A and B are shown apart, each in its own frame.
Chain A
């Protein structure tokens, strides 16, 4: 009798421990705030999907995503609005926050829509960065030039697409 009772308690306890990553958020809407030093692109607007490039890999966000913090890497953020319209914005760097209530904040240092990028200017920035890399005197200057090369290549890729 006592054994059966103990088993019952154990099963109940086990059942109570089961828990998902996030306690279920209310509704399945995702409010996006997307801002940069130069412009606010979205302000608590409900959207369908967001794809972001980050140092922990590129990932897509849908409503009820696991709460996440990530650091942005230079690249294209794609926002799919509720009517299916896609907006592609190039971000230099910044942070992405996915909250428990499904709201998302993308904060970038500098962000511009793909249409504002200039292929030849990006090419120029790339060659400038490459020459800086070749003439880098110390470890720090070399690392700085390497970042510039990486970013310029990414801009060029996005501007050519």
Chain B
């Protein structure tokens, strides 16, 4: 079993790290565009009685 698997990491974690390293290793002209994919944002709005209960978390 590989070391990362033993440490409790999944292949998804592995894949994320690998993709991140690859994006950092690109030529400058492609890098800035690629680095935008590093972050992902999720916005959650809880709803109650048909209207948003809070703005977002």
Q: Does A121 lie within 8 Å of B25, measured CB to CB?
A: yes
Assess whether A121 is in contact with B31, with CB atoms less than 8 Å apart: yes
Contact B17 A117 (CB under 8 A): no
B3 → chain A closest CB, angstroms? 5
CB-defined contacts of B31 to chain A, threshold 8 Å:
118, 121
CA distance A26 to B50 in the complex (A): 55
User: Interface 1/0s, chain A 126-146, versus B by CB < 8 A?
Assistant: 001100000000011011101
Which residue of chain B has the shortest Cβ distance to A93 in the bound complex? B15
Q: How long is the Cα–Cα vector from A144 to B30 in the complex, in angstroms? A: 25
User: Chain B's interface: helix, strand, loop or mixed, by majority?
Assistant: helix
Task: Tell yes or no: A69 within 8 A of B by CB.
Answer: no
A147 close to B25 (CB less than 8 A): no
Residue-by-residue, is A80-124 near B (CB-CB < 8 Å gives 1, otherwise 0)? 000000000010111000000000000001101000111001101
Assess the A151–B4 pair: CB atoms within 8 A.
no
User: Is A148 close to B, CB under 8 A?
Assistant: yes
- Assembled-state Cα–Cα distance A128/B24 (Å): 11
Tell me if A155 is interfacial: C-beta within 8 Å of chain B: yes
Cα-based distance from A146 to B21 in the complex (angstroms) = 12
Cβ of B11 to closest chain A Cβ, rounded Å: 6
Given A38-B34, A38-B37, A121-B27 in contact, is the A92-B7 Cβ separation under 8 Å?
no
Chain A residues with CB under 8 Å of chain B are 37-38, 71, 74, 90, 92-94, 109-110, 112, 116-118, 121-122, 124-125, 128-129, 139-140, 142-144, 146-148, 151-152, 155-156, 159
Binding site for A on B (CB under 8 A): 3-4, 6-9, 11, 13-28, 30-31, 34, 37
